[in-house]
Amino acid sequence: MLKSKTFLKKTRAGGVMKIVREHYLRDDIGCGAAGCTACGGAHEGPALEPQPQDPASSLCPQPHYLLPDTNVLLHQIDVLEDPAIRNVIVLQTVLQEVRNRSAPVYKRIRDVTNNQEKHFYTFTNEHHRETYVEQEQGENANDRNDRAIRVAAKWYNEHLKKMSADNQLQVIFITNDRKNKEKAVEEGIPAFTCEEYVKSLTANPELIDRLACLSEEGNEIESGKIIFSEHLPLSKLQQGIKSGTYLQGTFRASRENYLEATVWIHGDNEENKEIILQGLKHLNRAVHEDIVAVELLPKSQWVAPSSVVLHDEGQNEDDVEKEEEREQMLKTAVSEKMLKPTGRVVGIIKRNWRPYCGMLSKSDIKESRRHLFTPADKRIPRIRIETRQASTLEGRRIIVAIDGWPRNSRYPNGHFVKNLGDVGEKETETEVLLLEHDVPHQPFSQAVLSFLPKMPWSITEKDMKNREDLRHLCICSVDPPGCTDIDDALHCRELENGNLEVGVHIADVSHFIRPGNALDQESARRGTTVYLCEKRIDMVPELLSSNLCSLKCDVDRLAFSCIWEMNHSAEILKTKFTKSVINSKASLTYAEAQLRIDSANMRDDITTSLRGLNKLAKILKKKRIEKGALTLSSPEVRFHMDSETHDPIDLQTKELRETNSMVEEFMLLANISVAKKIHEEFSEHALLRKHPAPPPSNYEILVKAAKSRNLEIKTDTAKSLAESLDRAESPTFPYLNTLLRILATRCMMQAVYFCSGMDNDFHHYGLASPIYTHFTSPIRRYADVIVHRLLAVAIGADCTYPELTDKHKLADICKNLNYRHKMAQYAQRASVAFHTQLFFKSKGIVSEEAYILFVRKNAIVVLIPKYGLEGTVFFEEKDKPNPRLIYDDEIPSLKIEDTVFHVFDKVKVKIMLDSSNLQHQKIRMSLVEPQIPGISIPPDNISNMNLNGPEKKKMKFEK
C-alpha cells in the first residue's frame, strides 16, 4: 500500500519548495515474538521470547513484553541495559527520535538490540499497515508520535491474543509522561511509569539505584533556598551570542580550586580568548567540558586567577554561607595587570556529561538513602545520589551519571550506574583509568569481527596483483622484548653498481581494513593502541595485530615497502614505493641486534644487513642534527613484574642502545619520504603531522635554570637550541645535560595531525623537517592507515573513495586522532603512576638522591634518576607552623629558613605511599638532606609516620 507524505521546504534563495515522499505500508512485518503463527516468522534477527522468563513484577504478574517511549529510552538507558530487563519492543518511531536527540544513547540502544541474550526487538511500526498513523490537523509532531506509540502498544496486545486461546502475554507501555499514561489507560493499554515498574521488580531492588532522577527545573522541590540564577532558554542565548551580549565557549573547571573555572571562547578573532569565572553563583551549575554562554562582567568586577588550592570536602551538603566565606578568600589584592576578563554563566548550550568514576562519601545520617558521590576527577562537582546499598559500596569504585542540577541544590542529582570493584585493586584501577581517559576498551563486537579474514589465511593470486615479491630479500625486524605487534622490518644490501639498497617494510594493514566497514569505523574511533604497564588495548583485533599483520619471522606477510637507493654517504638517489610480500628472516630485540653488530665473529647476511643499516643511520642522524633537530630526554621507566602476581618488583629507567636509534632513523626517513609523496599527489588532502615552534615565553624556565649554572641556552631557532644544549656540559656535574634536556622537553608544544588543505604551516620543529607524517605504525595508529590509503592511490595500487579526498572529513578524523593520542598519553602516565604506587607500597619507605627540576612558592619539584620518578616536596603542612619562605621568581630560587634551593640542586628525599585519602593515593616525598630544623626528616625518624590514618574531613586549604 502506498501513502505519500507532502511537506513544504524553504530553499536557500528564499523560495518555497513542495516535497512529496512516497511511504510504503506493508502487512508482512513481523511482531518479533518467536513462534507467532499470525506473523508466520516474517521477522528476522533477534526475537522476543515466546514465554518471557523475566523477574516477577508485583504490578504485572503474568508474562509480558515492555514497550518504552522515547523519553524512557533517552533517560533510563542505564536501567534498560541491566541484565534483568529483557524482552523489550523498540518502536521505529522511538528509535528515530532517539537518533535525532542523542547519538551516544542511540549507539547504546543499537548495541543492546544486537545482544541476542537481551531479546530486544525493533518493530517497524511506521511501515506497518495497521500501526501507521497520519498527523492530524492541528496536531504537533510530538503528539502524533505519542499517539503512534499508543496505537502500536494497543495493536500488540490485540495481536498477541491471536497466538493461542490461553495466551496470557501482555505488552506493557512504559512512559514518564503523565498525560500520555492517562490516555493509554483510557484506551485500555496497561501503562506504568519507569519508576513504578522498576519498584515492582521485588527480586531486583538494586535496579532502583539505576533510575535517573528527573526533577525538571519547573517541578523542583518547593523547599530549599534558590541558590543559582535561572539558565536562559536556548533561543535567548543564540540571540545574545549573535548580538555580542554573550560569548559562547567551553567550560573548563579547575583541578586545584572548585570555586574557579575558565571558559575558552570559540572563534578565532576573540580578543578575550579565556574568561575567568569565580564563585559558585557565577559558575552557575556548569560542569567541566559543557558548552556554555557567558556574560562578561564590568571591568570593576574583574579578578585575577587565584593561587589558592581549594578542594570541596565539606560534609554539610548545602552550607552556602560557608562557600561565600571561601569565595572571599580567593579575592586577594593584586596589581591591575594581573586582572583577567571575568564573567558568569547565563545558560548552557550543550551538556557534555559522561558517566563518572569515583567513590561514595556515605552520609553521617543513619538509614539515609541520600549520599554524596565524590568523582575521581577533581574538576567534576560532587553528585547527590539515592542508594540502598551504601554500606556495600563504601570503599569501592563506582560509576555515577548526572541527571540534572536544580536551582535550589548545591550539588547535581544523579544515579548509580555500576560497581567497578574495590579501590586499590589492579583490575579496578585499570578500568577506572581507562574510563576516566575515555579509552574505548570494550571487546570488539561481532559486527567488527565479521570483517576479519577467515582462518586459515594464506596469500592468494588476487592478493599478489599490484604487488612485488620481496620474499628473497634478507629482511629482519628489531623491536622491544615481548613485542607481538611488529609493524616494521628493514633490509640493506649492496647493489651491483656499488650503491646500497635500503628498504623499510611496513605491515599492510589497509589491505585488511577496508574503508567504511565496521572494522574501519571501530579502528578510526579508537585511533591508537594504548600501552599500559602490563596491558595493551589494541586498536585492531588481535588476529590482525599479533598475527596476520604482524611481520613475524619465517612467515609470508603482506607489506607496504619504501625502498631507497643510496650511496655510502646516505644520500638518496632513488625512492620507490610498492606494495609487497615479504618473509622476515629474524625477529630480533634491540639487545640481540646490538650483540650481532658488535660481535667480531658474526658475518651472516642478517648481521651484514644490520651493520650496513647502522652505519647509514649514524650518518643520517648526524645530518639531521646539523639541520637543527632536537635530541631531548624524558625519563622513561620500565617495571619488572613478578611472574606470579604481576606486581612490580623493580623499577628502573629504560636503557637506550644504538639499535634503538638505528630503527628510529629509518622510520623518520620513511615518514618524511611518504609525506613528500602524498603531498605531491594530494596537495589539499594529505594527512600530515606538524610540531609547532614554542612561543619564547615557554623557554623562560629553561633559560633561567641554565643561567643559574652560568650556562647560556639560545632559543631563537631549533638549531641554536640544539647546539647550546650540546655545549651545556659541566665536568663536575655530568647529569646536568640530561636535566636540561628533560626541562627543554617540558617547554615543547604538542605535535598534531592536520589536513594539508586546512593549514599553511607544515613544519615539524623537533625534527627540523619541512614536512612529516606517520606511515610506519599502522597496526597501532589509525593515522598511518589513512596515509597508507593515500600512498596506495598515489602509486596506483588501490582505488580511492569519497571520504579520502574530502578535506573536511579528514580534518574531523585528525581532530579525533589528536584527542585519542592525548588521552592515550595521559592514560599511560596514570598507569605508570599507579604501578609506581604499587611498587612503593610493597617496598616501604626509601631514601634516594634527587635533583630539583622546579622551585615553587611553597615547594620544590624533584626528579629521582634511579626510578625516573618526579614528585613534589611541600614545605607547608596542615596543623604545623609554617616555615619562613622567600621565593625569587627571577633566579628562580626558594629560601627556607637559612637554606636556599636552586634548580638542579642535589637533595636527598624520602619516598613513601600516602594512603590517607583512599581515592587519591599518592607518592609523598619529604626532605632528608640538606638538614633544615623542623622541615627535614632525620633519616632514622620514619617509623612513626602515620600514612594510613583516616583523613580528617575538613577543607584542604594550601596557599
Q: pLDDT class for 118, splitting at 50, 70, 90?
A: confident
pLDDT tens-digit map of 226-270: 888 899 999 899 999 888 899 999 999 988 788 889 999 887 655
CA distance 39 to 32: 9
Identify the helix (H) or strand (E) that includes residue 833: helix 807-843
pLDDT at 867 over 90: no
Least Cα distance to 96 among 74, 128, 118, 116 occurs for 74
> Is the predicted pLDDT of residue 738 greater than 90, yes or no?
no
- How confident is the model over 547-560, as pLDDT tens digits? 899 999 999 999 99
Residues 363, 318: contact at Cβ < 8 Å? Answer: no
Q: Of 506 and 386, which is predicted with more confidence? A: 506
Helix, strand or coil, per DSSP, at residue 896: strand
C-alpha dihedral sign at 600, 606, 612, 614:
negative
- pLDDT of res. 257: 80
Give whole-number Cα distances, 670 to 315, 675, 880, in Å: 58, 8, 59
3-state class of 689 per DSSP?
Answer: strand
Of the pLDDT bands very low, low, confident and very high (cuts 50, 70, 90), residue 634 is low
**Residue pair 16/143 in contact by the 8 Å Cβ criterion:** no
Kindly list the structural domains of the chain, giving each domain's residue range(s) and its CATH number in brackets, ordered by start.
44-210 (3.40.50.1010), 234-312+337-350 (2.40.50.690), 355-423 (2.40.50.700), 446-693+750-826 (no CATH), 696-747 (no CATH), 844-929 (2.40.50.140)
State the cell numbers at 836: 609506581
User: Number of C-alpha atoms within 13 angstroms, CB side, residue 782?
Assistant: 28
Angle (CA) 394-399-405 rounded to 5° is 105
Whether the Cβ atoms of residue 373 and residue 385 lie closer than 8 Å to each other: yes
For cell 570555586, the residue is: 259
Question: Which of 423, 422, 418, 57 minimizes the C-alpha distance to 206?
Answer: 418
- How confident is the model at residue 818, as a pLDDT? 94
Rounded CA-CA distance 873/858 in Å is: 9
Across the range 293-307, mean pLDDT stands at: 83
- State residue 228's pLDDT score: 87
Indicate the range of 523-532, 591-600, 720-729 predicted with least confidence.
Answer: 720-729
| Residues 925, 889 contacting (CB under 8 angstroms) | no
Phi, psi of 745 (to 5 degrees): -60, -40
If pLDDT is split at 50, 70 and 90, which confidence band does 323 have? low
pLDDT over 90, % of the chain: 32
Q: What is the pLDDT of residue 270?
A: 53
Q: What is the DSSP string of 288-308?
A: TT-EEEEEEPPGGG-B-----
What pLDDT band is residue 934 in, cutting at 50, 70 and 90? low
Residue 148 above 60 pLDDT? Answer: yes
Q: How confident is the model at residue 585 (pLDDT cuts 50, 70, 90)?
A: very high
What is the structure's pLDDT at 166? 64
Which tens digits make up the pLDDT trace of 366-414? 667 788 898 988 899 999 888 888 888 888 899 999 988 988 888 999 9
Torsion of CA 122, 123, 126, 128, to 10 degrees: 150
pLDDT(153) > 50? yes
Query: Cα(747)–Cα(694) distance, rounded to whole angstroms?
Result: 7
Average pLDDT for 772-780 = 94
DSSP state, 693?
P
For residue 893, which of 934, 862, 851, 857 has the smallest C-alpha distance?
Answer: 857
Of 181, 165, 285, the residue nearest 227 (C-alpha): 285
CA distance 435 to 886: 42
Inform me whether the pLDDT recorded for 224 exceeds 80. Answer: no
Lowest mean pLDDT among 47-61, 143-157, 749-763: 47-61
What is the pLDDT at residue 633?
64
Is the predicted pLDDT of residue 218 greater than 50, yes or no? no
- Can you spell out the DSSP letters for 776-800? S-TTTBHHHHHHHHHHHHHTTSS--
Distance CA 436, CA 444 (A): 20
Residue pair 39/56 in contact by the 8 Å Cβ criterion = no
Q: How confident is the model at residue 320 (pLDDT cuts 50, 70, 90)?
A: low
2, containing H or E segment: strand 2-10
Q: Give pLDDT, residue 409.
A: 85
Instruction: Write down the pLDDT at residue 340.
Output: 84
The mean pLDDT value of the chain amounts to 83
Q: Give the range among 628-632, 666-670, 758-762 with minimum mean pLDDT.
A: 628-632
Comparison of pLDDT for 107 and 573, the residue scoring more: 573
Q: Half-sphere exposure (CA, 13 Å, Cβ side) for 826?
A: 16
Task: Flag the least confident range among 185-199, 327-341, 727-741, 810-824.
Answer: 327-341
CA distances in angstroms from 558 to 184, 798, 812, listed in the order given: 62, 14, 29
Cell numbers at residue 548, please? 596476520
- Name the nearest CA neighbour of 957 among 475, 367, 326, 363: 326
Q: How far apart are CA 844 and CA 913, in angstroms?
A: 8
Residues 6 or more apart whose CB falls under 8 angstroms from that of 583 comprise: 471, 475, 554, 555, 556, 557
In the structure, what pLDDT confidence band is assigned to residue 134 with cuts at 50, 70 and 90?
confident
Burial class (CB in 10 A: 0-12, 13-18, 19+), 638: middle
pLDDT band at residue 895 using 50, 70 and 90 as cut-offs: confident
pLDDT of 39 strictly over 90? no
The pLDDT assigned to 654 comes to 59
pLDDT at 953 over 70: no
For the ranges 23-32, 388-397, 577-586, 736-745, the maximum mean pLDDT occurs at 577-586
Measured CA distances, 196 to 172, 199, 211 (Å): 12, 5, 11
The DSSP symbol for 549 reads S
User: Quick one: which of 82, 41, 90 has its CA closest to 65?
Assistant: 90
* Residues recorded for the chain: 959
pLDDT at 655 over 80: no
Which one is predicted more confidently, 743 or 644? 743
* Higher-pLDDT residue of 368, 515: 515
Mean pLDDT of 817-824: 94
Out of 8-17, 268-277, 328-337, 748-757, the most confident range is 748-757
**Inter-CA distances, 746 with 179, 527, 631, 831, Å:** 60, 25, 13, 20
Q: How far apart are alpha carbons 234 and 126 in whole angstroms?
A: 31
As a whole-number percent, the residues of the chain with pLDDT over 70 amount to 86
For residues 635-663, give the mean pLDDT: 64
Question: Element (H or E) spanning 621, and its range?
Answer: helix 605-627
| Residue-level pLDDT at 520 | 95
Residue 491 has pLDDT above 90, yes or no: yes
